[in-house]
Amino acid sequence: MKMNKKIAVTIGDPAGIGPEVTLKAVKMLVESGRFDYSNFLIIGNRKLLARACAGFIDRGFIDGLDVLHVESEGDGKIKTGRPSAQSGLASFEYIKAAAALASAGKLKALATAPISKEALHMAGFEFAGHTEILKSLCGARRVEMAFCGKYFNLLLMTRHVPLKCALKAISAEGIASAAVAGARFMRSAYPGSRKINIIVPGLNPHASENGLFGSEEKDIIVPGIALAATALDKLECGRGIEISGPVPADTAFYAAFKSREKTLILSYYHDQGLVPFKLLHFESGVNVTIGMPFIRTSPDHGTAYAIAGRNEASCLSMANAIKFAMRMKPFEI
The full 3-state SS of the chain, as one line of letters, equals CCHHHCEEEECCCCCCCHHHHHHHHHHHHHHCCCCCHHHEEEEECHHHHHHHCCCCCCHHHHHCCCEEECCCCCHHHCCCCCCCHHHHHHHHHHHHHHHHHHHCCCCCEEEECCCCHHHHHHCCCCCCCHHHHHHHHHCCCCCEEEEECCCCEEEECCCCCCHHHHHHCCCHHHHHHHHHHHHHHHHHHCCCCCCEEEEEECCCHHHHHCCCCCCHHHHHHHHHHHHHHHHHHCCHHHCCEEEEEEECHHHHHHHHHHCCCEEEEEECCHHHHHHHHHHHHCCCCEEEEECCCCCEEEECCCCCHHHCCCCCCCCHHHHHHHHHHHHCCCCCC
Of 3.40.50.720, 3.40.50.970, 3.40.718.10, 1.10.540.10, the CATH number of 150-283 is: 3.40.718.10
Contacts of 171 (CB under 8 A, 6+ apart): 220, 224
Q: What is the pTM of this model?
A: 0.87
Q: Are 88 and 96 in contact (CB under 8 A)?
A: no
Cis amide prior to 246 (ω within 30 degrees): yes
Domain spans in the chain, listed from the N-terminal domain onward: 1-146+290-333, 150-283
Reported as a single tens digit per residue, the pLDDT across 48-89 is 999 988 888 888 888 889 999 999 999 999 999 999 999 999
Of 3.40.33.10, 3.40.718.10, 3.20.170.30, 1.10.3720.10, the CATH number of 1-146+290-333 is: 3.40.718.10
The pLDDT score that the predictor gives to residue 284 is: 87
Question: Model confidence at 10, in pLDDT bands (50, 70, 90)?
Answer: very high
Mean pLDDT of the 171-179 span: 97
Reported as a single tens digit per residue, the pLDDT across 112-167 is 999 999 999 999 999 988 989 999 999 888 889 999 999 999 999 998 889 999 99
Q: Do the domains spanning 1-146+290-333 and 150-283 agree at the CATH topology level?
A: yes
